[in-house]
Structure 1
Amino acid sequence: MSFDRHFFFRGFRPFWTGLRGEIGGLLDRLLPVTCAFCGTLLDSSHQPTLCPSCLNTLNCEKPPSCPRCALPFPDFGGSDHLCGNCQRQPPPFRAVCALGVYEGPLRQAIHRFKYQQDFTLATPLGHLLSEAITGQHPSHHHLILPVPLHPRRLRQRTFNQSLLLARVIGNLSGIPVAANLLRRVMHTPSQQGLSLDDRRHNLINAFALHSKLSGQSVLLVDDVMTSGATVAACTNALLENGAQTVDVAILGRAAKSL
């Protein structure tokens, strides 16, 4: 008598499906899902893994801002308009999508994610940023690129927070993430504490591409934007090597540019 493998597995499938459900339920009881920000117990179906309170806190209403660089304006009663810097000297990127202003709970979440290596925040923050991108940039991007770290900085930090965010956004959108296309080829001093001119000079020839692009629309992902010098330098490298347009997505936008 011959062995019908397909018949066997068809019969086994209901048993496996039930077993998998039992295992999932057991894991939910032994390892309950908690809010990635405050630790509150959640139902396992919560996506992203944030409780309603933290979700509202981190995804709070944004003030009016510059549609080009996302600089927030202090007057909540106003409307979006180009800031003075973008009117005088438009940046090379087309637009910036920011989850929120870099302050309060969002700043705390970014600090925990970036400096305390709280990787559990990568997924919920990436989910929220992906939703913001969908609302602001309905047009399709061909590639998602993270702002890269120099290999020396990467060895010190052990991970690139921008790449973790880019991968979450890529998984949700189906857009490929080109993790190694854009490289940081110069190890430069930290941008913190530098003037805008020094920041720009600090990044001259700091980025390069492994290969040329051919008219693709690129979404560049980073965690925080202050002056915009870093994403501008990345954008220039991309445009010079064949990108058609570059949009930027960030978690936090500093309330003041330098």
Structure 2
Amino acid sequence: MENQIESSAERLIALVTGANQGIGFQIAKALADKGYIVYVGSRNLSNGENAAADIGATAYAIQLDVTEQSTISAAVERIGKESGRLDLLVNNAAISHAGEPGRTLEEMTEDGRASTASIESMRRVWETNVFGVVALTQATLPLLRKSAAARIVNVSSGLGSLTWVSDPDCWAREQFGVIYAALKTALNGITMAFAIELEKENIKVNAVSPGFAATALNDFRGTDTVEVGSLEPVRVALKTDGPTATFTGPDGPLPW
């Protein structure tokens, strides 16, 4: 790897976490297709390298576990040395449970019941999906501040909408638990906090729901493909002159 990526001054620079598979991969691919230099964040570097190879010549694997500060610091240092700035951060990395792979959607829903959920499982999932987002966003701010049009996109979920799930007619109401769904509400709050603080610096911060796409997070029970699920995150990510402090999904604005 060269110390300086060629043409980084002419291309926009993006970092997508959890980009070795699923919606994160589709987001990274779409950004690369639009001319971005894309850092493909992956906990497992080999998986990231395979994904970057599939995406193309402007995609670069970067080892990044958002629960490990050492990997965050190393990733930020590398991006700074190679590209000098960051124009777009997509916080996509997420887990839906802390147990063994292969958990069914019904099991994950049951595990998240407020009255019986494991506090340890809740801590592990929130460590990735909530605290990891804050840690990485804080660490990348010096690079984002060097951009002329910096954006942060947090991949949330319609389940995070308290307005929606409090409606007795909400079809997903019974899936609202404290391990996964409530953390998306917390992520929305964190999105708003960053958006308000960074607005004066013209750094846009938005939350986006990909809809109900079939991914490992829901035991591949979603009704949309990951390609469809990536469309709204990509749309928001590409809007260099767009709004800030919004929460949107495939069908438009979502209630907080």
For Structure 1 versus Structure 2, the TM-score category normalised by the shorter chain is 0.3 to 0.5
Q: Please give the TM-score of this superposition, normalised by the length of structure 1.
A: 0.34
Q: Please give the TM-score of this superposition, normalised by the length of structure 2.
A: 0.34
More helix by share: 2
